[in-house]
């Protein structure tokens, strides 16, 4: 449904996107994760026909984005990372305007707008002015706006950015509901954890390149290889440092008083060895607990590996 | 309206804006005060009220003033049409809809012109007063109104095109007012200055330049419709041809701006546009 072949976007000598090869199958949700400046927005902008690729090709629903932009625009619903709303329009008028832009007939537009507003929990706001809505409500309204012409593909650029924690949770609920519509969705975020519960596959972008692609299930399975240990106790500082330095499975240690948090890439048996090593060096342990590594830490681990390779 | 949803949306937005009734009411009150003052001055100390020659002067003065006011008001409503959308971050979504660049530009030009056209309409009763005093014949009034409407659409089109080409509303406003300044002030002052110079036998060459510059001045051309000055057919061809060509020339980079697939042919960095 979405396919890019050696897609490149260059500004002067700087590569914003470099040789991007991406395939998103029909009806699946693909998440792109990366830090700011990784090339996510440029990629999505090219797919939304807003920016022209320097070289390479991109297809959406079988249409090529540079040569068939009109067809691509009809096939997609695009939500930019930063957007404005029209003042002096009510929520209903706002949705009707975009329905008119796509040539949706008045009756269908009216019915669909009401359904979508209920769907994004804005049913009670249909007669409110758009600029009177909170940021979180406006973001949900944008999701409804993207769906007004019933597109096959949704391209959502950081839909939860700039939201407070409550609005972020509400948006996540809406995004999870989006899955049930069976649309092909390409969604970007700089928070991997946010996409973990939404996406089928996740790609990590760094420096304009897609450095890793994996299904969320596979990533979570890999995450079992990394453990986060929560250790508290008392003893000489050198003893702690020595024990951690001598264990090759200790990847990272962060002091979080009154304990330390250890990212550990070993088995349960090796974990027991670390506990024994600490005690042998005179450390009195109060707590030695393991908590599951979340997808965010796995992402950090992957990007760290990339940087080390550089 | 359904053919151009942007036009319908813009009408709705503009007419709901708080400044709209203020502008319309302020304009009508000012024009009414001026008309009554001029008519009062006209008949003061006279034994008869109907003085066609003097009323004709009132008609001319009102028409020229109205033209000047709408010429300088139009950029205020049109110069931020596209650049304002860009600054409010609404353009990026608009460009991903199937609306054509031509449809976007036409919608913006007509919606910007609508309020100015409304100003012309509300001033009609005042013209009827002048008409009552024998200052103008209906054909003259219609011709002057038609010409004013044409100029509103023309200036709105130029302002919307500058607004599309320039990245910021500040720049598009400067460029729009520079264009209006050329149309109304520069062509008039320099054209008329050359005409005075042409009265000297040594400077006869100036007459041609004077005629050409004055032909580009909407006030001069409007005065010809009111029968105060005479212009040749060549002057009308020059006026319409020059400004049609200017709109066509500016439309090319404007469409390039709205159609990103053509951007790669233009110099510059499109990353900053949307």
Distance from CA of B263 to the nearest CA of A (A): 8
Chain B neighbors of A158, CB-CB under 8 A: none
Please indicate whether, in this complex, the C-beta atoms of B95 and A50 are within 8 angstroms of each other: yes
The answer, yes or no, to whether ipTM is higher than 0.90 is no
Ranges of CATH 3.40.50.300 domains, chain A: 2-215
- Which pTM was predicted? 0.80
Task: Report chain B's mean pLDDT, rounded to a whole number.
Answer: 85
| Nearest neighbour of A88 by CB, restricted to B8, B13, B98 | B13
Please indicate whether, in this complex, the C-beta atoms of B8 and A87 are within 8 angstroms of each other: no
Distance from CA of A242 to the nearest CA of B (A): 52
Give residue-wise pLDDT tens across range A21-42.
Answer: 989 998 889 999 887 888 899 9
Q: How far apart are CA B164 and CA B184, in angstroms?
A: 23
Chain B neighbors of A78, CB-CB under 8 A: 93, 96
Please indicate whether, in this complex, the C-beta atoms of A98 and B260 are within 8 angstroms of each other: no
Nearest CA in chain A to B2: A100
B184 DSSP assignment: I
Measure CA A269 to chain center: 35
Look at residue A91 and tell me whether its pLDDT is greater than 80: yes
Under 8 Å CB pairs connecting chains A and B tally to: 78
Q: Domain locations in chain B?
A: 5-264
Please indicate whether, in this complex, the C-beta atoms of A52 and B93 are within 8 angstroms of each other: no
When scoring B98, B269, B274 by the number of chain A Cβ atoms within 10 A, the one with the most, hence best to mutate, is B98
Chain B neighbors of A49, CB-CB under 8 A: 95-96, 260-261
Give residue-wise pLDDT tens across range B106-164.
Answer: 999 999 998 899 999 998 888 877 777 766 777 888 888 999 999 999 999 999 999 99
Look at residue A253 and tell me whether its pLDDT is greater than 60: yes
Ranges of CATH 3.30.70.100 domains, chain A: 227-292
Q: What percent of chain A has pLDDT over 90?
A: 28
Confidence of residue A308 (pLDDT cuts 50, 70, 90): very low
Give residue-wise pLDDT tens across range B82-106.
Answer: 999 999 889 999 999 999 888 999 9
Confidence of residue B189 (pLDDT cuts 50, 70, 90): very high
> What 3-state class would DSSP assign to B169?
helix
Please indicate whether, in this complex, the C-beta atoms of B96 and A76 are within 8 angstroms of each other: yes
- Please state the length of chain A: 310
Give residue-wise pLDDT tens across range A290-306.
Answer: 776 655 566 556 555 54
Give residue-wise pLDDT tens across range A155-210.
Answer: 999 888 777 777 778 888 888 888 788 889 999 987 766 777 788 888 888 888 88
CATH superfamily of A2-215: P-loop containing nucleotide triphosphate hydrolases (3.40.50.300)
- Average of pLDDT values for B160-174? 92
Nearest CA in chain A to B263: A52
**CATH classification of A227-292 is 3.30.70.100, yes or no?**
yes
């Amino acid at each position: 449904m979405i396919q890019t072949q050696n897609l490149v976007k260059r500004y002067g000598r700087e590569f914003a996107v470099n040789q991007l090869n991406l395939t998103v199958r029909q009806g699946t949700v693909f998440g792109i994760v990366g830090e700011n400046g990784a090339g996510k927005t440029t990629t999505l902008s090219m797919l939304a026909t807003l920016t022209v690729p320097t070289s390479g090709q991109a297809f959406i629903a079988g249409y090529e984005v540079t040569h068939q932009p009109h067809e691509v625009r009809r096939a997609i619903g695009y939500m930019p990372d930063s957007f404005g709303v029209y003042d002096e329009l009510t929520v209903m008028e706002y949705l009707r305007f975009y329905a008119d832009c796509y040539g949706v007939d008045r009756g269908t537009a009216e019915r669909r707008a009401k359904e979508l507003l209920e769907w994004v929990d804005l049913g009670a706001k249909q007669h409110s002015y758009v600029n009177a809505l909170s940021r979180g409500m406006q973001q949900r309204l944008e999701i409804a706006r993207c769906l007004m012409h019933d597109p096959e593909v949704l391209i959502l650029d950081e839909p939860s950015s700039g939201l407070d924690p409550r609005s972020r949770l509400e948006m996540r609920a809406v995004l999870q509901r989006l899955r049930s519509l069976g649309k092909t969705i390409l969604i970007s975020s700089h928070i991997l954890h946010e996409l973990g519960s939404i996406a089928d596959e996740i790609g990590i972008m760094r420096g304009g390149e897609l450095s890793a692609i994996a299904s969320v299930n596979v990533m979570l399975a890999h995450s079992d290889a990394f453990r986060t240990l929560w250790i508290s106790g008392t003893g000489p500082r050198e003893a702690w440092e020595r024990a951690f330095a001598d264990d090759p499975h200790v990847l990272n240690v962060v002091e979080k008083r009154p304990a330390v948090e250890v990212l550990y890439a070993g088995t349960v048996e090796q974990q027991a060895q670390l506990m024994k090593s600490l005690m042998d060096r005179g450390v009195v342990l109060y707590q030695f607990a393991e908590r599951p590594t979340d997808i965010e830490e796995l992402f950090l681990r992957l990007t760290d590996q990339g940087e080390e390779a550089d | 309206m359904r053919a151009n949803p942007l036009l319908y949306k813009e009408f709705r937005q503009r007419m709901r804006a708080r400044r709209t009734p203020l502008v319309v009411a302020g304009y009508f009150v000012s024009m009414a005060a001026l008309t009554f003052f001029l008519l009062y001055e006209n008949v003061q100390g006279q034994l008869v009220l109907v003085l066609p020659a003097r009323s004709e002067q009132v008609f001319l003065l009102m028409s020229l003033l109205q033209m000047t006011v709408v010429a300088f008001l139009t950029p205020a409503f049109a110069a931020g049409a596209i650049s304002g959308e860009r600054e409010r971050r609404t353009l990026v979504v608009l460009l991903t809809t199937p609306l054509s660049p031509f449809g976007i530009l036409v919608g913006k030009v007509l919606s910007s012109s609508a309020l100015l056209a409304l100003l012309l309409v509300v001033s009609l009763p005042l013209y009827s007063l002048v008409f009552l005093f024998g200052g103008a014949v209906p054909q003259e009034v219609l011709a002057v109104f038609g010409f004013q409407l044409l100029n509103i659409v023309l200036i709105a089109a130029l302002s919307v095109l500058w607004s599309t080409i320039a990245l910021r509303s500040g720049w598009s406003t400067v460029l729009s007012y520079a264009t209006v300044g050329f149309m109304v002030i520069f062509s008039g002052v320099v054209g008329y200055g050359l005409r005075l110079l042409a009265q000297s036998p040594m400077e006869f060459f100036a007459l041609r330049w004077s005629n050409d510059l004055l032909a580009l001045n909407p006030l001069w051309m409007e005065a010809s419709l009111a029968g105060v000055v005479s212009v040749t057919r060549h002057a009308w061809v020059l006026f319409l041809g020059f400004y049609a060509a200017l709109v066509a020339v500016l439309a090319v980079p404007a469409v390039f701006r709205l159609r990103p697939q053509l951007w790669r042919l233009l110099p510059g960095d499109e990353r900053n546009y949307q």
